């Protein structure tokens, strides 16, 4: 994992995630998160967290972006890079549910960057979820 300034190629993705975080609907937790996915076709797709008074129905920013990407480009999409912006002072990597959902669509070389106002972290997506569930035997 690297910390510090992100590689310049990630800046448009980070900016898109930050813009999405500003649109968060999080009246119950105040936890504002945005995500941006760069697909292998170079498209950038964003999502933000949307809470419900029934917390179990809340959707994370990463899954919101993934659902939108599939709706716009189809299930053959592959994710090249993932950015997660947190407006709450600490970088937050994707949660376990988001990691598993993203794993189904992540390209082998996919990178993830998560950041807050004061800190940036990045790593290969495979390091974030080294033992993703799959249905392959052996």
Q: Say which CATH number the domain at 69 has.
A: 3.40.140.10
Mean pLDDT of 54-78: 96
pLDDT of residue 100: 94
Q: Which of 62, 72, 80, 119 is catalytic?
A: 62
Q: Which residues contact 134 (CB under 8 A, 6 or more apart)?
A: none
Residue 62 a catalytic site member: yes
* 100, part of any domain: yes
* 47, part of any domain: yes
* 101, part of any domain: yes
Is the pLDDT at 38 greater than 90? The verdict is yes
* 62, part of any domain: yes
Q: How far is CA 72 from CA 19, 65, 66, 90, 101, in A?
A: 19, 10, 10, 31, 17
How does residue 120 score in pLDDT terms, banded at 50, 70 and 90? confident
Residue 110: which domain range? 2-128
* 48, part of any domain: yes
* 97, part of any domain: yes
pLDDT of residue 136: 59
* 138, part of any domain: no
Q: Considering its fold, how many domains does the chain have in total?
A: 1
* 16, part of any domain: yes
């Amino acid at each position: 994992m690297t910390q510090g300034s992100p590689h310049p190629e990630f800046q448009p993705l980070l900016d898109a995630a930050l813009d999405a975080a500003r649109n968060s609907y999080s009246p119950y937790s105040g936890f504002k998160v945005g995500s941006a996915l760069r697909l292998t076709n170079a498209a950038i797709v964003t999502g933000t967290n949307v809470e419900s008074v029934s917390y179990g129905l809340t959707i994370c920013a990463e899954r919101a972006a993934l659902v939108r990407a599939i709706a716009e480009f189809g299930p053959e999409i592959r994710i090249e890079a993932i950015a997660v912006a947190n407006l709450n002072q600490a970088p937050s990597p994707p949660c376990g549910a988001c990691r598993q959902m993203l794993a189904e669509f992540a390209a082998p070389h996919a990178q993830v960057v998560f950041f807050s106002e004061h800190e940036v972290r990045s790593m290969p997506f495979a390091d974030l979820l080294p033992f993703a569930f799959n249905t392959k035997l052996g």
